[in-house]
Structure 1
Amino acid sequence: MELIHEFLEDFYKTYGSFIPLSRGDVLDHLRQKLKSDLSAWMVFISKEVDRYQVVITAAHLPCFTVTHNRHMLTLDDLTTLDSQNWVNDQVINMYGELIMEAVNHKAHFFNTFFYNQLATRGYEGVKRWTKNVDLFSKTLLLIPIHLESHWSLVSVDLVSYSIHFYDSQGLVFQQAMESILHYITTEAKEKQHAAFQRGWVLMTNRWMPQQKNDGDCGVFLLEYCKCLALRRPLRFSQQHMPKIRKRIYKELCECKLTQ
């Protein structure tokens, strides 16, 4: 029991809650420590984990925060990754930062407020957002699009001169792609990158992982971004969402992506 208690206490201190905990985490720890078959003890272990989780949660009320560069997440922010909650802007923006770091800033992730600012105020409203960023030294731009209560993604491939739209409900928002195209060509003109002022193709990706509920669009957005930045195929589905939510929670607390 002591091994279980120690593990759970350390886990709670590291992640601020048991939201990202899975039974596999506990079993892997015990197998590593005991180096034996635990099959006969599964029922006992599960009951003890459940019991001691309640004990720890009742005894600790930490003011848990995660800080990384200019980002700060509270436990309330991280709790948006629980169950089928809608993930909030703070979670999305910090995860975007971790994506950029994972690829040595060859990809650029735009703040979640960028597109709304662009849509309402035009290029002049976001002109200074790239004051310290050379977009045209990147290979990929990732732009979250928030439409009322739903997240979509526009990606800009600066190698193939293509702009793509990703949506986990199969929606198509042509205006968003056209707005981003206008932004990119205007930015290219302002920064004197003639090669990026023409030759662009707009593409809607219809065959992609789709959500089956109303709460996971933000998680799909983040997984699209991670896969695209790491140049991986989009091989996940609705059934993977609980596991992906737990993984994202851990990555945010550890301030790095798991490869």
Structure 2
Amino acid sequence: MDWTEGLLQVHACPAPVDAHLLRLLGQKSPALRTRLRSGAQQLPSRLIQYPAAPSRGRISVSSEDLQCLAQGEFLNDVIIDFYLKYLLLEGVGGAVAERSHVFSSFFYKQLSKRRAAGEDVSVPDRHTRHQRVKTWTRNIDIFNKDFLFIPVNQEAHWFLVLVCFPGLEEPKLEEFSPSSEALRAGGGLRSQTPPECTLDGCRKSSVLKRPCVLVMDSLKLSHHEAVCRLIRDYLHVEWESRRGSKRLFSTETFKTCNCRVPQQDNSSDCGLYLLQYAQAFLQNPVVDLELPVRLDAWFPRQHVRDKREEIRRLVLRLHREQSG
């Protein structure tokens, strides 16, 4: 990479690593120090680190990242990762969030990379891919979680893959009792009737809980078969590594469903829809996994239209709090 791009990568490191690396670079020679000063003028201004220190896994959001929140711009991976983490930790919280795990957008990027020249060709492909990301879950057993959120960017298009009940080996029926709030909502206090398969919309006395992969995509033209296959392969090896036994994650035992979800009406809001799908699930999750899953009326389109400004205000508020 060129000098400016290298500086951007250094600047993106969490403190105090960034300052240490820049200091080392500046001590190399007077020429480098001069170039560093001129290149630093092009560096993005860091606004926040989230979550705040001393929490682990912090994400740095810069003023440059905020530019992608302008109308018509595509969301970048920093905004996607930041807002998903915020939803889980603070934005929604509650029981569903506690039973969920959110992967970084880089997870699928690493998982889907082609085999590199130096990688052992005698090792099965699924194990090679798992090797690249195995440390990402060293502090968590994903099979103890009910939901895994995986943001995917394929051919410059964002969509959400949601793995449900990865630790469950077969479907089972569970008793279900609609909450009083859900019954009131169904009585006409909401402007939009919640989908029947969700917590707020379900009126059944029993619901189906099953291990499966839900794909939530705001464009119907996208293809997901290869993505879901790689995720099943990952789960296969992760189970073997974590549990020490064999388990088959096949299309029969771990079904895929392309959910019917609200669709985008332009060419730039796919990342916003991904974030809104995640938020809607945390607030009003699918409780009945009879396939196919229909979520057409999950949320009004205005929620997505408001999201750019909502995220911008959130980042600036956190910036004031962290700067104070």
TM range (shorter): 0.5 to 0.7
CA distance in 1, matches of 2:258, 2:246: 23
CA distance in 1, matches of 2:87, 2:98: 8
- Unaligned residue ranges in structure 1 (runs of 5+): 1-62
Query: Structure 1 residues 67 and 225, CA, compared in 2 at 3 Å: closer, same or farther?
Result: same
CA distance in 1, matches of 2:247, 2:83: 28
Query: Structure 1 residues 178 and 218, CA, compared in 2 at 3 Å: closer, same or farther?
Result: same
CA distance in 2, matches of 1:188, 1:243: 40
Q: CA deviation at 1:238?
A: 4.4
Show the counterpart of 2:59: 71
- One-letter amino acid of the counterpart of residue 182, structure 1: D
Are 2:276 and 2:304, in contact at CA under 8 Å, matched by a contact in 1?
no
Q: CA deviation at 1:241?
A: 2.9
CA distance in 1, matches of 2:99, 2:247: 17
How many residues are paired up?
A: 193
Query: Structure 1 residues 247 and 194, CA, compared in 2 at 3 Å: closer, same or farther?
Result: farther
Show the counterpart of 1:247: 310
Show the counterpart of 1:200: 254
Q: CA deviation at 1:193?
A: 7.1
Per-residue CA deviations over 1:60-113 (Å, capped at 9, x if unaligned) read xxx571222311212221231121211111111111211221245421111111
- One-letter amino acid of the counterpart of residue 116, structure 1: K
SS at match of 1:113: helix
SS at match of 2:162: strand
Show the counterpart of 2:88: 100
Query: Structure 1 residues 184 and 243, CA, compared in 2 at 3 Å: closer, same or farther?
Result: same
1:190 matched to 2:241? The reply is yes
Are 2:108 and 2:151, in contact at CA under 8 Å, matched by a contact in 1?
yes
Deviates more, 1:231-240 or 1:98-107: 231-240
Q: CA deviation at 1:235?
A: 2.6
Show the counterpart of 1:90: 78
Query: Structure 1 residues 160 and 193, CA, compared in 2 at 3 Å: closer, same or farther?
Result: farther
Deviates more, 1:219-228 or 1:191-200: 191-200
Superposition RMSD on alpha carbons, in Å? 2.5
Query: Structure 1 residues 254 and 163, CA, compared in 2 at 3 Å: closer, same or farther?
Result: farther
Query: Structure 1 residues 130 and 249, CA, compared in 2 at 3 Å: closer, same or farther?
Result: same
Which structure has more helix as a fraction of its residues?
Answer: 1
Show the counterpart of 2:299: 236
Structure 1 segment 88-167 matched on structure 2, within 5 A: 88-101=76-89, 102-103=93-94, 104-120=97-113, 122-158=129-165, 160-167=210-217
- Unaligned residue ranges in structure 2 (runs of 5+): 1-44, 52-57, 116-128, 166-208, 286-294, 319-324
- One-letter amino acid of the counterpart of residue 47, structure 2: T
CA distance in 2, matches of 1:219, 1:226: 11
Q: CA deviation at 1:249?
A: 2.6
Percent of aligned pairs with the same amino acid: 28
CA distance in 2, matches of 1:214, 1:183: 31
Query: Structure 1 residues 231 and 193, CA, compared in 2 at 3 Å: closer, same or farther?
Result: farther
Per-residue CA deviations over 1:206-228 (Å, capped at 9, x if unaligned) read x2111111110110111111112
CA distance in 2, matches of 1:252, 1:195: 44
1:224 matched to 2:281? The reply is no
Are 1:94 and 1:252, in contact at CA under 8 Å, matched by a contact in 2?
no
CA distance in 2, matches of 1:195, 1:95: 35
Query: Structure 1 residues 181 and 86, CA, compared in 2 at 3 Å: closer, same or farther?
Result: same
Per-residue CA deviations over 1:32-87 (Å, capped at 9, x if unaligned) read xxxxxxxxxxxxxxxxxxxxxxxxxxxxxxx5712223112122212311212111
SS at match of 2:104: coil
TM-score (norm 1): 0.67
CA distance in 1, matches of 2:315, 2:76: 13
Are 1:95 and 1:252, in contact at CA under 8 Å, matched by a contact in 2?
no
SS at match of 2:105: coil
Are 1:81 and 1:245, in contact at CA under 8 Å, matched by a contact in 2?
yes
Are 2:77 and 2:105, in contact at CA under 8 Å, matched by a contact in 1?
yes
Query: Structure 1 residues 195 and 129, CA, compared in 2 at 3 Å: closer, same or farther?
Result: same
TM-score (norm 2): 0.54
